[in-house]
Amino acid sequence: MTANQPTCGIRKLLVLPFVLVVFILTSCSPGKQIPATPVPSAPAATPSLPAEVVPVHPGTIAFASVTHIATDDIYLIQTDGTGLTRLTETNTSAESPEWSPDGTKIAYMVCPQGPHASHRQYDVWVMNADGSGQTQLTDGPLGATYPSWSPDGTQIAYSTWFAPPEEYGPAQIYVMDADGGSPRRVTNGPAHDLYPTWAPDGTILFLRREGYHGTPFGDIFRTNPDGSGLERLTTMGRVGDFALSPDGTKIAIHDLRQHRIVLVPMNASGTPPTVLVETDFGYDFVKISWSPDGEALALTRQCLMEFEGYDLHVVNADGSGLTTIPNAEEVVDGAWRPR
């Protein structure tokens, strides 16, 4: 292992002075753009997070837990708080679970020696929904993070390691076969291309972000899997995370500028965003995942300064009914099972 390889812990191992600096500081091709005008079209939910309430949307959510300081593992839980099941049990950091379209497999990323190891990077793994058959798919020098399945389940998109570009070059989007074969590069942008999300129409959405880790300057772009047709979708400038609805018509966005989660239509330029949740998350990462029927969203967050997760929440797609799922602790990276 060479000394110039990036380190583990994408969302946890940050140099604290750097994080403090980037959060004191307040791009590409034109295309259909979603305006940044902060005009809500529906009442906002209260900023305070609720007490434990049983959600009205039944389903299964996979999530990573940071209960252990040196390791993360992936769990399953029902949205009523029952059925907590541990899927991975290693001395590594396993994060960012993503379900295959048929709900039988989970792709995820693993840091071989845990989040506090040096000179290692994440790779993409896959396992069955019951935790069996854990298999490593990538093993390249650039690392592989944030997997996303194609609509037909035959391919997986991912981004390379998110590290200082002056050392390793910016992260880019790649696509590989679902068994790890035939990796090919999709983007070649000037900034970090992260969080690929495969849309129902076969295009790939991703976040293009300036800077490193906690830097909150980014917008959503769309491209074809062969890299053609690059299109900028938002002009907010401070998108923290996003999730495309199952039917591909709406995007839920963590707006870091306004500290809120909003809902915007995919192809309706000029339509103001609907505010779903007003948050006090500040610099925290927020992961958003839609329910299979598009009627609710799961929300998880993580504090960069304290390296910890929080509760797992569910909110209706109209912003009502913000609830907390019982028995899920120190949660990051929640993903709702598609069926």
The top-scoring range by mean pLDDT among 62-71, 75-84, 108-117 is 75-84
Residue 7 pLDDT grade (very low, low, confident, very high; cuts 50, 70, 90): very low
- DSSP per-residue codes, 257-311: TTTEEEEEETT-TTPPPEEEEE---TT-EEEEEE-TTSSEEEEEEEETTTTEEB-
Give the residue, 55 or 238, on which the prediction is more confident.
238
Mean pLDDT of 245-268: 89
Residue 318 reports pLDDT greater than 70 = yes
pLDDT higher than 90, residue 253: yes
> In this structure, how many other beta carbons lie within 10 angstroms of the beta carbon of residue 32?
12
**Cα distance between residue 210 and residue 191, in whole Å:** 5
pLDDT at 119 over 90: no
- What's the confidence (pLDDT) of residue 163? 61
Residues 15 and 20: their CA atoms lie apart, in Å, by 9
d(CA 50, CA 225) in angstroms, rounded, equals: 40
More confident residue, 236 or 76: 76
Q: How far apart are CA 190 and CA 45, in angstroms?
A: 37
Q: Does residue 14 register a pLDDT over 60? A: no
The DSSP annotation for 106-130 comes to EEEEEETT-TT-SS---EEEEEETT
Q: What is the pLDDT of residue 223?
A: 98
Domain parsing of the chain, residue ranges:
56-336
Give the residue with greater pLDDT, 167 vs 15.
167
Q: What is the pLDDT of residue 164?
A: 57
Residues 95/333, Cβ–Cβ less than 8 Å: yes
Task: Quote the CATH superfamily of domain 56-336.
Answer: TolB, C-terminal domain (2.120.10.30)
Higher pLDDT, 292 or 260: 292
| Cross-strand partners of 232 | 221
pLDDT of residue 266: 87
Give the number of residues written for the chain: 339
- Under 8 Å CB-to-CB from 91, ≥6 apart: which residues? 70, 71, 113, 114
How does the average pLDDT of the chain come out, rounded? Answer: 79
Q: Of 10-24, 30-44, 218-232, give the lowest mean pLDDT range.
A: 10-24
89 has a pLDDT exceeding 50: yes
Q: What is the pLDDT of residue 28?
A: 36
Q: What is the pLDDT of residue 167?
A: 64
pLDDT higher at 11 or 290: 290
Q: Which two three-digit tokens encode residue 171?
A: 């992260």
Instruction: With a cut of 70, say whether residue 45 has pLDDT above it.
Output: no
pLDDT band at 67 (very low <50, low <70, confident <90, very high): low
**What single string gives the DSSP state of each residue in 157-201?**
EEE-----HHHH----EEEEETTS-S-EE----SSEEEEEEE-TT
Query: pLDDT category, 174, cuts 50, 70, 90?
Result: very high
